[in-house]
Amino acid sequence: MKNVIESNHPLIEHKLSILRDKNTSTKEFRELVKEISMILCYEAMRDAKLDEIQIETPIKKMKTHRLNEDHYAFIPILRAGLGMLDGVISVLPTAKVGHIGMYRDETTYEPINYFFKVPDGIENREVFLLDPMLATGGSAIDAIDLLKKKGVEKIKFLCIISAPEGLKQVNKAYPDVPIYTACIDEKLNENKYIVPGLGDAGDRIFGTK
């Protein structure tokens, strides 16, 4: 699939093996989501543009390059996307943060939007959309649609586990949006959960089940 980047980093594979384990504690699960999100953020920023600046080291003046963090914004899809926020914020501490609130209708499996708050000037920023799980792709498509309506042109979607079905749907709807995923799993089951997956990411992050 075009514009789908699956990480093949050994550290991610190692951390995923612990993350998927049903016996992993809430505390450790949160820490692993944060760590994997950091690595995904590094991957997603390989094409970042740097400004040339001049600094002075303890030895001499020199020209170097620096990122303008004001050009970026992180938008977690609530609630599970919040688990990824600490990881990416540790990479770009001054980036702005917005929130998109969605939940899945348990009968139709369709996403329902209940909250949308983004920073001023969002249309001038590169937005990293965060959600640990990309299952059917419905939430991702709706979130991208909301951002596009706000005038955002550059969006990257970061997820930890993805299903081929969801990737295809998002890719079809928005081929211009790169998707960075730690792992592409086998499929969705009859309840639209990713197989083998890791269960409900939100419940495991917040310890609600």
Query: pLDDT tens digits, residue range 146-167?
Result: 999 999 999 999 999 999 999 9
Domain containing 33: what range? 4-45+73-206
CATH number at residue 94: 3.40.50.2020
Where do the DSSP E strands lie in 108-193? Answer: 111-117, 126-130, 133-134, 154-162, 179-184, 187-188
Q: Is the pLDDT of residue 109 over 80?
A: no
Distances in Å between the alpha carbon of 171 and those of 1, 64, 132, 167? 7, 37, 17, 6
Question: Residue 108 catalytic?
Answer: yes
Question: Which of 104, 136, 142, 208 is an active site residue?
Answer: 104
Residue 77 lies in a domain: yes
Q: Is 47 marked active-site?
A: no
Q: How confident is the model at residue 54 (pLDDT cuts 50, 70, 90)?
A: very high
- Residue 104 appears among annotated catalytic residues: yes
144, 143, 205, 191: which is closest to 163 by C-alpha?
Answer: 191
Q: Does residue 62 sit within a domain? A: no
Number of folded domains in the chain? Answer: 1
Active site (annotated) includes residue 24: no
Q: Is 189 helix (H, G, I), strand (E, B) or coil?
A: coil
pLDDT band at residue 110 using 50, 70 and 90 as cut-offs:
confident
55 occurs within a structural domain: no
Six-digit token string for 148: 């596009």
Among residues 120, 203, 204, 208, which one is catalytic?
A: 203
Residue 111 has pLDDT above 80, yes or no: no
What's the pLDDT band for 129 if we cut at 50, 70, 90?
Answer: very high
| CB of 159 closer than 8 Å to CB of 181 | yes
Place of tokens 């003046």: 61
Task: Assess whether pLDDT exceeds 90 at residue 104.
Answer: no
Rounded to the nearest integer, the mean pLDDT of the chain is: 93
List the single range of 10-14, 102-106, 186-190, 201-205 with lowest mean pLDDT: 102-106
pTM, to two decimals: 0.91
Catalytic member of 46, 107, 108, 120: 108
